[in-house]
A = this chain, B = another copy of it.
């Protein structure tokens, strides 16, 4: 079964391991499909599995006390879900929800913990990824403060595009608004503006990106900054 992975694509974190090390880890992995709106781990759950997405997109969301809002970032095959287990924290303050169906490699938490202890190469790579996540969180903080909705929407669309390798994003404006922490009306306005600039077009429930380079210009520098952080660190 695991031989199919190459056909599907693969996980960029695991790709950084030596062939030997990766093969050994993969024997403990199970390839599972992840489906839209599936909750991979919920608030307060004890972590049962960690996931390395191979295809598809997962949102990583932190609940904010006394508020209906969640801080959101997206994770695809460049990352993993439940990295905090690396730090020995096995109860979650965040949840993970599938935003685009696909596949992921799943490892039971106990085995993952053992593997990390036994394989310095693995823990080194995941440590670096944890630091990427931290810097991304600070980037979101700045982005939320300084950048207008249109820029932030452009950034979010690019994040979808990058993680799905597809120019069509199946999502409603309402969901985009929740991810950005703004009103749906705000997204309608921003999306309309991006469309008028011929960067995207959209219909009910799906956005099509026409001009990635243009969209990058229309986004804030945070998209590129996140990528730079990832590339430097990994």
Interfacial residues, chain A to chain B (CB-CB below 8 A)? 62, 64-67, 69, 71, 84, 86-89, 93-94, 124, 127-128, 130-131, 133-135, 137-142, 144-146, 181, 221, 224-225, 228-229, 233
With A and B bound together, what is the CA distance between A135 and B43 in angstroms?
Answer: 13
B66 x A221 contact (CB < 8 A): yes
Contact A135 B229 (CB under 8 A): no
Q: How far is the CB of A63 from chain B (nearest CB, A)?
A: 9
- Which residue from B88, B130, B133 sits with its C-beta under 8 Å from A128? B88
Count identical subunits in the complex: 2
Are B84 and A131 within 8 A (Cβ)?
A: yes
Query: With A93-B135, A141-B144, A145-B145 given, is the CB distance from A128 to B87 under 8 Å?
Result: yes
Closest to A127 in B: B87
- A67 contact set on B, CB distance < 8 A: 142, 146, 221
Whether A146 lies near B87 (C-beta < 8 A) is no
- A interface, by DSSP: helix, strand, loop or mixed? helix
Residues of chain B contacted by A65 (CB below 8 angstroms): 221, 224-225, 228
**A140 cross-chain contacts in B, Cβ below 8 A:** 138, 141
CB pair A127–B62 under 8 Å, yes or no, is no
Name 7 interchain pairs, CB-CB below 8 A, sorted by A. Answer: A64-B139, A64-B146, A67-B142, A87-B130, A87-B131, A138-B140, A144-B145
Tell me which residues across on chain B come within 8 A of A94, comparing CB atoms. 138
Residues of chain B within 8 A of A93, CB atoms compared: 135, 229
Q: Are A71 and B130 in contact (CB under 8 A)?
A: no
Partner of A135 from the list B62, B141, B181, B228 (CB cut-off 8 Å) is B62
Known: A134-B133, A138-B137. A145 touches B89 (CB 8 A): no
Compute how far the CA of A135 lies from the CA of B224 in the bound complex, rounded to whole angstroms: 23
